[in-house]
Amino acid sequence: MPEPGPGRGVGIVDGDGLADRLPNRGFAVPPFSDRRWQEIAEARRTIEPVVLRMPIDRGDVDWEADVRAAHHRLARTPAFVPDDGRHYSEAWFEAHRTFHRTLLEGCRNPVLLETFDRMWTASELTRRWSAQRDPGCDGADEHRRLEEAALARDADAAAEILTQHLTLTAAASTE
């Protein structure tokens, strides 16, 4: 069976929002724009708090243990690159993604999780372009409160904390 050509790989990143398909010209990296970032942030603020309510209702003890473990890893992972102190570390980015996805995994709906993955990937590109320490943002406290509300099965509080977290992240990335 022949190996897929380079267009196949680019087609995958096109589907994730990391490349734009240009008719008869191939692909290009999408331009950074505050408008696009705000659209992605709005989609996340609209969808993720609704999805979060599902695992709070449906999640079992394994989901609770996974959320606790993912938060523990996030809280213990150094956020910033050593000897730099301004840019987030690769390990922290991965722990951050894992925590947010783990919160939603108890929804047990692969379509919703795939939607989260696509939105996360698209927002991650912007976050990494602007990924510097924001002294006014206490992400560690936001994540702790989010974990506590989810595990306390307080869907209203968890959804509100997540909405605030996503709003603050979007604002910090466009300043």
Tell me, rounded to whole angstroms, the distance of Cα 21 from its chain centroid. 24
Report the DSSP beta bridge partners of residue 88: 80
Q: 98 to each of 46, 55, 101, 133, 174, how far by Cα in Å? A: 20, 15, 5, 20, 24
Overall average pLDDT of the 125-137 stretch:
60
Listed in sequence order, the DSSP H helices in the chain are 6-15, 34-58, 61-76, 90-105, 110-129, 139-151, 155-174
In the predicted structure, residue 107 carries a pLDDT above the cut 90: yes
Tell me the pTM.
0.79
User: At a CB cut-off of 8 Å and minimum separation 6, what does 170 contact?
Assistant: 37, 38, 41, 45
Please tell me the predicted confidence (pLDDT) of residue 151.
98
If you search the block for the tokens 């307080």, which residue do you land on? 154
Report the DSSP beta bridge partners of residue 28: 20
In the predicted structure, residue 136 carries a pLDDT above the cut 70: no
Write the pLDDT tens digit of every residue in 109-123: 999 999 999 999 988
Q: Domain 33-174 classified CATH 3.60.15.10? A: no
Confidence of residue 175 (pLDDT cuts 50, 70, 90): low
CB atoms within 10 A of CB 60: 11
- Domain positions in the chain: 1-30, 33-174
- What does the alpha-carbon distance between residue 29 and residue 152 come to, in Å, rounded to a whole number? 42
Please tell me the predicted confidence (pLDDT) of residue 27.
73
Please tell me the predicted confidence (pLDDT) of residue 12.
41
In the predicted structure, residue 40 carries a pLDDT above the cut 50: yes
